[in-house]
Amino acid sequence: MTGKLWGIGLGPGDPELVTVKAARIIGAADVIAFHSARHGRSISRAIAEPYFRPGQLEEHLVYPVTTETTDHPGGYQGAIDEFYTEAAERLAVHLAAGRDVALLAAGDPLFYSSYMHMHRRLADRFEAEIVPGVTSVSAASAALGTPLVEGEQVLTVLPGTMPVDELTERLRNTEAAAIMKLGRTFPGVRQALSDSGRLDDAYYVERASTKRQRVLPVAEVDESQVPYFAITLVPGPTPTLPLASLSANEKRSDTGDLSAVPLEHRAATDTRTGPVVEQTDAVVTHETPSRAGEVVVVGLGPGAQEWTTPEVTVALDAATDLVGYTTYLNRVTPRPGQQRHASDNKVESERAAMALDLAKRGKRVVVVSSGDPGVFAMAAAVLEVSAEPQFANVTVRVLPGMTAANAVASRVGAPLGHDYAMISLSDRLKPWDVVAQRLSAVAAADMAIAIYNPASTQRRWQVDAMRSVLLEHRDPETPVVVGRDVGGPTESVRVTTLADLNPDEVDMRTLLIIGASTTTAFTSPDGTRVFTARRYGVPATPA
């Protein structure tokens, strides 16, 4: 049996505008999936969160780009198409395993929504059903408090991304209009409204149905302060109310409050999921946190569960929210009441910002790393972002873990027994020239080297380049330890030489240890053993 894909329309923002069916499906689904930009904060997830239940898996789908500026070889469209394909396959894994997936969509799933891209890629393989939602057009019209169209009038829905000339022509030839996708397009939209003679009849609604809702005439909007989640309406009928007076006292919504969600529409929870302080037969009441929470950055160790320290286990148990790369989060046993925020392994800063933002709102957040969080992992990224002024009141702690270099070294003896260096071969965050310079300097200093991130599916040439640099300073017979998935189910460790190191056998789950001049490999009853002497002048083979 395969799982079912649900396209869940959440409405425009107020959690009370989520339909009864949508709330029921969200609470019943095995997996909750949602999109966000690279900052990691998902509006859809925030709307739906009151209806979550403990133990649900989360798939956080992070857009690689949100503007047309990208170095992807296929341009913006190529980057987005690749993202949707990869995101669909992530959901397909759950569906194929029999898990029902609720993919959240603000507004309606088939109205300018990302859900439709997933539907096209999955509905031919898995059962899929759409739960419609209130659109932003309906919410904005309600906020405006006047009919949008009546009788036989025609409503035209237009994207603000259209060229100004085309937008102007369409506005001239319609009785009523809703213009979506504002943000950086707003100056062009206002120009088109002016050129078409519709500016005086146009109204601006920002974040309709939420506590941050604003309604005012388009002519009075500060174009530098327009978010993407805003809409412009040109009503067909004569407005019911004197809307022009809104500029003196901007209309704001009193809705969007999470303080009263009927229990029959809400999944069960416990007090660890957030600041829930009182339950009655009818409602769940929330209290705003009096102070910020904290972020704890932890290392799980390189693979084996017994290598996770008791201190880290306590932090994981106490967390309300877990943040991390999907592969690492999957190593943590789900606990009732916790929310999991998974992302890919290329958005460190965005992941850190999301964790800090959650803590700022009172959550106890654990950011999960493999190995030690301070060794080519998340501790540095979280601390760097935490230095920004908006996170001044958020506490950040770092809990150590066993790093992969020590785990691999232990399997063969003590190849890191003397001075050694740790170097990452990844050139994603630093240029290869810097990597090569460091390799050369450490090799010339005659220290053993632990090589992290030696290769990936896209990076295949760096191991051979590294070997060429090292051979300028090291004997070809220098021992090399090749450890893969140490502590995991497919662990393998072998000892070779620098001359015989085969780059094709190295991948992202591999760690290399390159010996120094005092590193010795020998055969023992336990297999090949390796040590690096702590003093010079040691015989080439042990006494």
**25-65 confidence digits (pLDDT tens):** 999 999 999 998 877 788 899 999 999 998 899 999 988 86
For the segment 86-127, what is each residue's pLDDT rounded down to a tens digit? 999 999 999 999 999 999 999 999 999 989 999 999 999 999
Mean model confidence pLDDT for the chain:
85
Domain residue ranges in the chain: 137-248, 289-402, 413-532
Burial class (CB in 10 A: 0-12, 13-18, 19+), 542: exposed
User: What's the pLDDT at 18?
Assistant: 96
CA distance from start to end of the chain: 63
pLDDT band at 303 (very low <50, low <70, confident <90, very high): confident
User: According to CATH, what is the number of the domain 413-532?
Assistant: 3.30.950.10
Q: Do domains 137-248 and 413-532 have the same CATH topology?
A: yes
pLDDT band at 289 (very low <50, low <70, confident <90, very high): very low
Q: In 291-437, which ranges are E strands?
A: 294-299, 321-325, 339-343, 364-369, 395-399, 413-414, 420-424
Question: Which top CATH class is 137-248?
Answer: alpha beta
By the 8 A CB rule, do 355 and 367 touch?
yes
What's the whole-number mean pLDDT along residues 163-190?
94
Q: Give the type of residue at 27.
A: G
Contact 44, 58 (CB under 8 A): no
Which of 41-50, 251-260, 291-300, 345-354 has the weakest average pLDDT? 251-260
CATH superfamily of 289-402: Tetrapyrrole methylase, N-terminal domain (3.40.1010.10)
This prediction's pTM? 0.50
